[in-house]
Structure 1
């Protein structure tokens, strides 16, 4: 008995496509590859089919479709046959190629016509027959399609503020996200930018001072230097969207509130070229509570004031301009003076002017109110009685010379400086010679006595003065004392005799 064994060998034959795009644009080059596990392809013949139509035969397992067309959309197969054995031949799986016309980008320029420097232009790129989210977009200038002037992964609109240099021919193209296939490049649009700038807008605010009070009326005014028929747009804060639009160039906040405190700016628009102005400068609007308290200060700010001093009272408050206010000055409940100046000067102040002082301000231009300051207390001291009508002098220094009379060279002298009615520890002391009160011959932070051994050169007129430690106020300078030093020295022999006589006297005792 003869047994015939038939072995059926099944070969998995795979047909693949490169690039493996789900959708193929016309004009692309597509490669079909017929893969199978045999180590050598030299024994095989490859047949290529579109549906049931044989397209090609070769010894190569690749079949290239160059510049593929829409009508080549179909199912494709490969079929292989062994050259050495007619018994071996196999069909591959089918692959489907879907070919569509390559979409062309379309570029739109908004607005059209000649542009002014500073205007905003938008270049919008659309891919015909496709949604915007499928694509990445690139824009090109003057035919250079290798270097985009701008690219976006999301937006199909490219907006920018133009200058004269931006004039030129612009195109765009899309690149599909899913497979990086590109659309055809768009036709060119021409952008012409004039060297002339957009009209300038200027924003002012009335009232000019800052801050304004809650409840006050504030008017913003937008002025554009040229052209007419403007519509005015008003912007606030960080928003790029206008909060208001009007045919008139003023925007009024009738009753300012906390929420109105922000930054404002404006711009003009119209129906003719130029269709917009430049954005204006920005102004900051500060709003404060209706009530505020002026601050009254004293200069110099000494804790104790000597009679005869000049004292300046300053009434300070947040408004930058004092021209709208009247200032009233009071000692206790008595009005002393009123003026447009926020300074009040007390010259040669007297002891009986010691008191509490206030300032009171009133706005000339509005009924917003009037305000009292804090009180400051002035304490004036002097050597005369309180409430006397005369001006009381500041403390006067007194200088004493010890010993008095003519001195001999080599003798020791002491100049003692006292401030009448004050303790010595309150003061620093300085001594002067021959009327030169700018260059002391000696100064001391502690001692009120100045002692030194004299020579004939020390002869002269001496004075002294004190400077109070607490506030650096000075006493009046003392009357002068005269120091006379003889050129004659004390006789050394006489001194020796005195010493000898003293010794003998002590021994005899």
Structure 2
């Protein structure tokens, strides 16, 4: 038995007699030296629920890295592991990407010097496209006043911006100069017409489906 203080690939063989008769080499065993650097895995963006088709980055960061160059080993939901020079995995999310991700770093300058595995982070991907809905505090527009429209996304998750439309579905989103912005999900409109909305988030923008159309009429017109 021996005690080793360096990482590397070790093997042994036996010998006896004079001259020495040697056995064949044993199978090799790899000894890795654990370093104090900490590996941390994160999601960008870090929304709790991702939808199929959204862009997501799984990133590995190693603390106290200094000028050290690292290789990164990943443990992924499909149970595969592999080395990569890049500290991130870019995904066009799908349901099969759901699961736990972990990473560790391997020092390129000091062979067999490695970090501990990071804690796992869970990526949850839904295969169902989120839906937008629109509502109005009134469908009758008083002369000289506004009607408040509200857009919401189901399931309710963080990160959404709201895009508003009037007229045909091929139209461009309404400009803020055309409406009164009450909050991120509410606007006031002063023109009659057919309105609908949808949500979007991320870069590039991932859009929900369009909401149903809601019709706003001027006071005095038949409903």
Shorter chain as normaliser: what TM range?
0.5 to 0.7
Specify the alignment match of 2:53 in structure 1: 27
Change (3 A) 1:70 1:11: same
2:25: which partner in 1?
Answer: none
Q: Distance in 1 between matches of 2:215 and 2:42?
A: 47
Structure 1 residue aligned with 2:105, among 80, 84, 93?
Answer: 80
Kindly tell me: are residues 60 and 41 of structure 1, through their superposed partners in 2, closer, same or farther at Cα, counting changes over 3 Å?
farther
Q: Number of aligned pairs?
A: 182
1:104 to 131, 143, 150: 131
Q: Which has the higher contact order (CA 8 A, sep 6+)?
A: 2
Corresponding residue of 1:274:
222
Cα pair 1:106 1:126 within 8 Å, conserved:
yes
User: How far apart are residue 189 of structure 1 and its match?
Assistant: 2.5
Of 138, 145, 149, the residue aligned with 2:173 is 145
8 Å contact from structure 2 (residues 149, 189) kept in 1: yes
Other structure's SS at 1:22 match:
coil
Match of 2:80, SS state, is strand
Q: Counting helix residues as a fraction of each chain, which structure ranks higher?
A: 1
CA contact (8 A) 2:195 2:215 kept: yes
The runs of 5 or more residues in structure 2 that have no matched partner are 7-32
Q: Distance in 2 between matches of 1:87 and 1:175?
A: 45
Work out whether 1:15 is the aligned partner of 2:41. Answer: yes
Equivalent residues in 2 for 1:429-440, closer than 5 Å: none
Note closer, same or farther for the CA distance 1:182–1:84 as it changes in structure 2 (3 Å cut): closer
Runs of 4+ in 1 over 6 A off after TM superposition: 119-122
Residue 76 of structure 1 deviates from its aligned partner by: 0.4
CA shift digits 1:166-223 (9 cap, x unpaired): 44x42223479xxxx97625246274868xx72xxxxxxxxxxxxxxxxxxxxxxxxx
Name the counterpart of 2:71: 45
- Structure 1 residue ranges without an equivalent (≥5): 199-272, 276-509
Question: 2:213 aligned to 189, 204, 208, which one?
Answer: 189
2:55–2:93 Cα contact (<8 Å) kept? yes
**Is the CA contact 1:47–1:56 (under 8 Å) kept in the aligned structure 2?**
yes
Change beyond 3 A, Cα 1:137–1:48 = same
For 1:225-244, list aligned pairs within 5 A.
none
Which TM-score applies when normalising by structure 1? 0.29
C-alpha deviation, 1:103, in angstroms? 2.0
Given that 1:51 and 1:77 are in contact with CA atoms closer than 8 Å, whether structure 2 keeps it comes out as no
Asked if residue 130 in structure 1 is aligned to residue 156 in structure 2, the reply is: yes
Question: Are the equivalent residues in 2 in contact too, given 1:77–1:95 (CA < 8 A)?
Answer: yes
- The CA RMSD measured in Å over matched residues stands at 4.4
| Separation (CA, whole Å) in 2 of partners of 1:140 and 1:159 | 11
- Equivalent pair of 1:48/1:63 in contact (CA under 8 Å): no
Equivalent residue of 2:36, what SS?
coil
C-alpha spacing 1:106/1:56, structure 2 compared with 1 (3 Å): farther
Matched, 1:173 2:198: yes
In 2, distance between residues paired with 1:23 and 1:58?
Answer: 26
> 2: CA distance between counterparts of 1:117 and 1:15?
54
Tell me the CA shift for residue 88 of structure 1. 2.2
Alpha-carbon separation, structure 1, partners of 2:72 and 2:121 = 16
**Distance in 1, Cα, partners of 2:81 & 2:35:** 27
Q: Note if contact 1:140-1:147 (Cα within 8 Å) is conserved in structure 2.
A: no
Q: Take 2:118 and 2:87, find their aligned partners in 1: how far apart are those partners?
A: 12
TM-score by length of 2: 0.57
Distance 2:45 2:56 in 1: 7
Contact 2:149 2:187 in 1 (8 A): yes
